[in-house]
Amino acid sequence: MSTLLFPIGALIFSAGIDQRMREGRLDPLPFLQRHTRGDWGDVSDDRWQANNAALQSGDRLESFYVVHRQLRICIFTEADRSETHIALACER
């Protein structure tokens, strides 16, 4: 991945994401790339602005993506940038 706006730390997949990856039903990496480039996905304007501010302040970053009508994923990077989690929206 090129031009990361922030370090992602350890990459952690939830059980639901891991299962869908193993079944070949989901590739979360394009969404991770969007997250690391500052495309926060399908979030409110307030969340978008909060994420942009968090790039400077070091707060937690949260993205939300609609993969298709029945599949939504969340990606969040901890404030200390030690971990980035990818989870199904229903697992949060």
Whole-structure pTM value? 0.93
Q: How many percent of the chain have pLDDT more than 90? A: 90
- Give the pLDDT confidence score for residue 2 in this predicted structure: 60
Is 79 inside a domain boundary? Answer: yes
pLDDT digits (tens, 9 = 90+) for 22-63: 999 999 999 999 999 999 999 999 999 999 999 999 999 999
60: left (phi over 0), alpha (psi -120 to 50) or beta: beta
Residue 71, domain extent? 30-91
Is 7 inside a domain boundary? Answer: no
Is 18 inside a domain boundary? Answer: no
Rounded distance between C-alpha atoms, residue 43 and residue 25, angstroms: 24
Is residue 1's pLDDT more than 50? no
How many structural domains does the chain have? 1
Is 8 inside a domain boundary? Answer: no
- Give the pLDDT confidence score for residue 8 in this predicted structure: 96
Is residue 82's pLDDT more than 80? yes
Is 54 inside a domain boundary? Answer: yes
> How far is residue 54 from each of residues 7, 38, 51, 77, 90, measured CA to CA in Å?
13, 11, 5, 10, 25
How many degrees, rounded to 5, is the angle at CA 65 between CA 86 and CA 34?
75
Is 16 inside a domain boundary? Answer: no
- Give the pLDDT confidence score for residue 92 in this predicted structure: 76
